[in-house]
């Protein structure tokens, strides 16, 4: 290895960005040349895209130019798409070239899990990335607009596939946004139908029962229909079908069925679990001291041997740890193993309420929403300290005022 190490980070999501931000502080420029690759020139807050997707939050509140989040003097940002990794030549293959590495950090997330359901990939919308949720936001509004012209009822039927964390968060945003859309297009609210189907016999599977109770209590009397124990079996233009033989005519199926590993990781010979890479306690790929796989692209295990579910919380901690671990290697110091601190889970229930468990304590309602806001602010602090936190806080207030005045949707 040369004196100046080449560190290549793939993906500017939570994990990749935090690795970059940590490295720029911990490693002197003479010791490392850091490159961050992302397919877009922006970073988006995945934890908030359900809001912009439903139309309850301005899109510009969830995405940030990457150049505004990193020290561009220290980190070379490359906007390109990763096409593969050549482990023998120690190179990353990009759409427009290649990049050699001494240390490689893979943080390009996963892809939606579609369980090979026919037609889903082609016809459904996915709560997964910024581009997808932007398409969804425009599509939803268009359905209301076009209903005025053709009175086609299927335009006002929205089917959410999956009653997990993401599906439920989106459901609340939809419910909140429907009255505004109905007012705008002079449509009776009772014409709009929101259906959430879940193959399992419970919603929010694996989450604290107190969160489930909060959801069930708050949805009483709300015009949405839950169907548990019903799987989506196919999806075609204008119709979605289910395991009991029934079907719903709809132009909008929103799929929130979870994620699986990125196919780019498939043929590398890494040990995979549902397409995600198994990593050791230093977040390294088994058998490789110089390749780290973080966030949704990997599976990290607790000391008891249980896999942690993918989340932004773990992706952030992994990113920070990875920066520290590489710095230790560069300076020849021993690194402690990664230790995940699970602080809790907070799920939004629309803009003003949330439910969750934080440090073992159940929270809900407006206090829950406040905690969600605190978590978001903490992230801004991690990225850019007090100045960035303050800037985002002011931006949020400005945006709320504009929404109140009707200047933004």
Residue 47 as a binder of ligand FAD (CB under 6 A): the answer is yes
Distances from the Cα of 378 to the Cα of 241, 331, 393, angstroms = 42, 29, 11
User: Could you tell me the smallest distance in angstroms from the CB atom of residue 316 to ligand FAD?
Assistant: 8
Residue 166 as a binder of ligand FAD (CB under 6 A): the answer is yes
Give me the helices (H) in 267-364, please.
Answer: 312-330
- Span interacting with ligand FAD, options 213-221, 285-293, 308-316, 387-395, rule CB under 6 A: 308-316
Distances from the Cα of 78 to the Cα of 10, 41, 64, 103, 297, angstroms = 10, 8, 16, 16, 20
Residue with tokens 């705008």: 184
Nearer to ligand FAD, 14 or 324 (CB): 14
Asked if 241 and 254 touch (Cβ cutoff 8 Å), the reply is no
CB atoms closer than 10 angstroms to residue 243? 12
* Residue choice 54, 57, 69, 82 for contact with ligand FAD (CB under 6 A): 82
Angle at 229 between CA 312 and CA 247, to 5 degrees: 105
Which active-site residues does the annotation give?
169
Nearer to ligand FAD, 50 or 329 (CB): 50
- Span interacting with ligand FAD, options 102-110, 177-185, 218-226, 400-408, rule CB under 6 A: 102-110
User: Could you tell me the smallest distance in angstroms from the CB atom of residue 50 to ligand FAD?
Assistant: 4
* Residue choice 35, 38, 233, 252 for contact with ligand FAD (CB under 6 A): 38
* Residue choice 55, 107, 132, 164 for contact with ligand FAD (CB under 6 A): 107
* Residue choice 49, 197, 248, 265 for contact with ligand FAD (CB under 6 A): 49
Residue 11 as a binder of ligand FAD (CB under 6 A): the answer is yes
Asked if 63 and 43 touch (Cβ cutoff 8 Å), the reply is yes
Residue 125 as a binder of ligand FAD (CB under 6 A): the answer is no
β-bridge partners, 35:
8, 76
* Pairwise CA distance, residues 118 & 123, whole Å: 10
* Residue choice 7, 8, 9, 15 for contact with ligand FAD (CB under 6 A): 15
β strands within 89-170, DSSP E: 91-94, 97-100, 103-106, 111-112, 125-126, 157-161
* Pairwise CA distance, residues 376 & 69, whole Å: 15
Q: Which residues of the shown chain bind ligand FAD in the complex (CB under 6 A)?
A: 11-16, 37-40, 46-47, 49-50, 81-82, 107-109, 127-128, 166, 169, 295-297, 310-313, 315
């Amino acid at each position: 290895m040369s004196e100046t190490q080449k560190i290549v980070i793939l993906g500017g999501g939570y994990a990749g960005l935090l690795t970059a931000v940590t490295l720029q502080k911990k490693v002197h420029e003479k010791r490392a040349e850091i490159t961050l690759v992302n397919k877009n020139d922006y970073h988006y807050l995945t934890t908030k895209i359900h809001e912009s997707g439903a139309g309850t939050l301005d899109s510009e509140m969830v995405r940030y130019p990457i150049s505004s989040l990193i020290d561009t003097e220290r980190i070379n940002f490359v906007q390109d798409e990763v096409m593969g990794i050549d482990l023998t030549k120690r190179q990353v293959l990009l759409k427009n070239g290649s990049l050699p590495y001494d240390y490689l950090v893979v943080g390009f997330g996963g892809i939606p899990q579609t369980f090979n359901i026919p037609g889903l990939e082609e016809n459904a919308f996915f709560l997964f990335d910024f581009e997808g949720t932007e398409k969804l936001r425009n599509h939803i509004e268009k359905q209301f607009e076009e209903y005025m012209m053709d009175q086609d009822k299927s335009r006002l039927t929205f089917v959410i596939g999956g009653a997990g964390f993401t599906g439920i968060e989106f459901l609340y945003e939809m419910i909140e946004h429907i009255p505004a859309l109905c007012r705008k297009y002079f449509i009776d609210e009772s014409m709009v139908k929101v259906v959430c189907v879940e193959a399992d016999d419970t919603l929010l599977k694996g989450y604290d029962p107190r969160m489930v109770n909060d959801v069930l209590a708050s949805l009483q009397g709300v015009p949405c229909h839950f169907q548990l124990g019903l799987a989506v079996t196919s999806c075609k233009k204008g119709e979605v079908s289910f395991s009991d033989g029934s079907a719903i005519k709809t132009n909008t199926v929103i799929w929130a069925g979870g994620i699986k590993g990125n196919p780019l990781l498939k043929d590398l010979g890494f040990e995979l679990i549902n397409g995600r890479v198994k990593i050791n306690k230093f977040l390294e790929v088994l058998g490789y001291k110089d390749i780290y796989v973080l966030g949704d692209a990997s599976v990290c295990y607790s000391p008891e041997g249980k896999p942690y579910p993918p989340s932004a919380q773990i992706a952030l901690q992994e990113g920070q740890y990875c920066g520290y671990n590489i710095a230790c290697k560069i300076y020849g110091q021993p690194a402690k193993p990664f230790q995940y601190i699970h602080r809790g889970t907070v799920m939004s229930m629309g803009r003003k309420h949330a439910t969750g468990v934080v440090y073992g304590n159940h929270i809900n309602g407006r206090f829950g929403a406040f905690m969600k806001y605190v978590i978001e602010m903490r992230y801004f602090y991690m990225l850019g300290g007090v100045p960035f936190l303050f800037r985002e806080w002011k931006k949020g207030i400005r945006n709320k005022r504009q929404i109140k005045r009707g200047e933004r949707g």
